[in-house]
């Protein structure tokens, strides 16, 4: 089943949640991963202990967990997954609309629908009159059009990760699966013989790998790889960058009727905002309209994208601009001030693992045949996790893959 990512990266990042009671945004504290869920009974917690597995995966996001799942299902290999924190979370509707408001965007949407139909997906091109029937609250004029995926759906990332974790843990009793959470990686240990990485050293454990080490650490992958490899005199710059995003969550908000997940076509063009302070321009701030309903019935509105390093502080100006942008598509919202919503409003802030060419990096590290990268999926991790896992497992097992991996090779990312 496809999602909006059939068009582009998911605009709803895996976001940390901030609460605003009076929507004086500058007074809202930033959330710095303070919550630490109770330890999983499948975690191994021995001080400075040593363990051996066939595969060690660094990163317990949806990519890392799905790779682990595919190994467990398609082989007899044992898998350990290690993360500096714990798995975390995200976003969620039924059917999706990609909205165009110009002749050029309409032509692009027609091409997109044709491409999706040729790939076997159910997709329709909607004229302005058809679009209005689907979304009466949406501002529609004679130039409006949409690409409609009627069977599209969105996933709640947190529930998805929990489901995969639960399935993986069924293999723990066989000794084939273990989790090492809240245990940051310190270094890789190389073999004196062939130079391959033979173990992952964390603060608490030494995790020996008999077959492969896979780094799937999201936007932390580039820095992690750089720090781990510089000790060996190796310069490896993987250009994965954190891309910050804001998302508004309106609870119990019935003022706007929304029948589908909706996104403006301009999201694909990554438009930057003019007229901002110079410091904001340096962030390459981009805001595009996105609207959907999550599994709890909350209205999700966004979204923003900007480069500010690993900063996850709430930016009042960005949230205000997002609200105005959504109002351009849904005029009803122009009659409401954000300050009127106060206690019913949350802002989620998160970091997406961005790659300059828009493609994730998937494959072995040059010079280290048993180390693999799987990162840079930006907002499409949920949609691309299964394909990524299949590619990685086929590479490790030496099987002929169904997908040409060349465009995703580490060498490509390194230029």
Q: What residue numbers bound the domain in which 373 lies?
A: 49-89+157-239+357-413
DSSP string, 36-90: -PPPPTTB---TTEEEEEEEEEE--SHHHHHHHHHHHHHSS--EEEE-SS-----
Q: Final residue of a domain: which of 336, 354, 372?
A: 354
Distance CA 319, CA 299 (A): 15
Q: What is the pLDDT along the chain (415 residues), one digit of tens a residue?
A: 334 334 334 444 444 443 333 344 433 322 233 333 444 545 554 456 999 999 999 999 999 999 999 999 999 999 999 999 888 533 323 578 999 999 999 999 999 999 999 999 999 999 999 999 999 999 999 999 999 999 888 788 888 999 999 999 999 999 999 999 999 999 999 988 787 899 999 999 999 999 999 999 999 999 888 888 877 777 788 999 999 999 999 998 888 989 999 999 988 765 544 444 444 444 688 999 999 988 888 899 998 999 999 999 999 899 999 999 999 999 999 999 888 887 678 999 999 999 998 899 999 998 888 999 999 999 889 999 999 999 999 999 999 888 899 999 998 777 5
CB contact at 8 A, 322 and 255: no
Do 396 and 323 share a structural domain?
A: no
**For residues 12 and 324, what is the distance between their CA atoms, to the nearest angstrom?**
18
Kindly state whether residues 54 and 179 are assigned to the same domain. Answer: yes
Beta strand pairing call for 49-58 and 94-100: unpaired
Do 330 and 284 share a domain, yes or no?
Answer: yes
Q: Is residue 145 part of a domain?
A: yes
Say if residues 330 and 138 touch (Cβ distance below 8 Å).
yes
CA neighbor of 392 nearest in space, from 248, 229, 252, 214: 214
316: number of Cβ within 10 Å: 16
Exposure class string for 277-290: b at 16+ Cβ within 10 A, else e:
eeebeebebbbbbb
Residues belonging to the chain: 415
Residue 277 sits in the same domain as residue 402: no
In a domain, 44, yes or no: no
CATH number of the domain bearing residue 197 = 3.50.50.60
In a domain, 332, yes or no: yes
Residues 143 and 201 in one domain: no
Write down the pTM of the prediction: 0.82
What's residue 43's pLDDT? 54
pLDDT of residue 62: 93
Say if residue 16 is in the same domain as residue 126: yes
In the beta sheet, which residues pair with residue 189?
199
Q: Report the C-alpha gap between 104 and 102 in whole angstroms.
A: 5
Peptide bond into 32 cis (omega under 30): no
Which residue, of 305, 334, 354, is where some domain finishes? 354
CB 283 within 8 A of CB 117: no
Inter-axis angle of helices 381-397 and 157-169, to 10 degrees? Answer: 30
From 334, 354, 374, the end of a domain falls on 354
Q: Quick check: 273 and 286 in contact, CB under 8 A? A: yes
310 has which bridge partners?
308
191 and 258 co-located in one domain: no
Do residues 70 and 111 both lie within one domain?
no
Angle formed at CA 298 by CA 292 and CA 300, multiple of 5 degrees: 40
37 occurs within a structural domain: no
For residue 11, the domain's CATH number is 3.30.9.10
Strand blocks (E) in 268-307: 286-293, 299-305
The DSSP-derived string for 331-396 is: GGGGGS-HHHHGGGEEEEEEEEEE-TTS--EEEEETTEEEEEEEE--TT-HHHHHHHHHHHHHHHH
Query: What is the model's pLDDT at position 268?
Result: 74
What is the distance between the alpha carbons of residues 147 and 330, in angstroms, rounded to a whole number?
18
User: Domain total for the chain?
Assistant: 2
Same domain, 181 and 161: yes
């Amino acid at each position: 089943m496809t999602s909006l990512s059939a068009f582009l990266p998911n605009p709803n990042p895996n976001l940390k949640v901030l609460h605003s009671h009076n929507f004086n945004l500058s007074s809202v504290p930033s959330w710095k991963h303070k919550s630490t869920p109770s330890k999983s009974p499948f975690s191994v917690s021995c001080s400075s202990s040593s363990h051996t597995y066939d595969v060690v995966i660094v990163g317990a996001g949806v990519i890392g967990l799905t790779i682990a799942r595919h190994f467990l299902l398609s082989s007899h290999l044992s898998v350990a997954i290690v993360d500096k924190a714990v798995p975390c979370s995200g976003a969620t509707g039924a059917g999706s609309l990609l909205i165009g408001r110009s002749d050029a965007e309409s032509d692009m949407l027609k091409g997109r629908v044709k491409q999706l139909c040729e790939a076997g997906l159910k997709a329709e091109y909607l004229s302005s009159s058809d679009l209005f029937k689907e979304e009466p609250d949406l501002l529609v004029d004679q130039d409006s059009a949409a690409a409609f995926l009627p069977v599209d759906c969105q996933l709640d990332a947190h529930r998805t990760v929990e489901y995969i974790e639960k399935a993986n843990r069924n293999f723990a009793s066989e000794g084939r699966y273990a989790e090492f959470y809240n245990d940051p990686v310190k270094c890789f240990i190389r073999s004196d013989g062939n130079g391959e990485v033979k173990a992952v050293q964390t603060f608490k454990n030494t995790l020996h790998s008999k077959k492969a080490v896979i780094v799937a650490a999201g936007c932390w992958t580039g820095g992690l790889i750089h720090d781990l490899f510089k000790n060996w005199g190796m310069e490896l710059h993987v250009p994965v960058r954190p891309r910050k995003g804001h998302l508004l969550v309106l609870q119990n908000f019935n003022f706007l009727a929304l029948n589908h997940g909706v996104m403006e076509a301009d999201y694909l063009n990554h438009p930057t905002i003019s007229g901002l302070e110079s410091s904001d321009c340096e962030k390459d701030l981009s805001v595009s309209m996105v609207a959907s309903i999550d599994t709890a019935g909350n209205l999700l509105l966004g979204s923003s994208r900007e480069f500010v390093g690993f900063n996850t502080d709430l930016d009042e100006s960005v949230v205000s601009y997002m609200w105005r942008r959504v109002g351009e598509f849904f005029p009803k919202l122009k009659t409401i001030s954000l300050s009127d919503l106060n206690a019913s409003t949350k802002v989620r802030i998160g970091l997406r693992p961005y790659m300059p060419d828009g493609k994730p990096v998937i494959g072995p590290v040059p010079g280290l045949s048993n180390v693999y990268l799987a990162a840079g999926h930006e907002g499409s991790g949920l949609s691309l996790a299964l394909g990524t896992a299949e590619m990685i497992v086929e590479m490790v097992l030496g099987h002929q893959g169904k997908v040409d991996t060349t465009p995703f090779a580490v060498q490509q990312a390194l230029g």
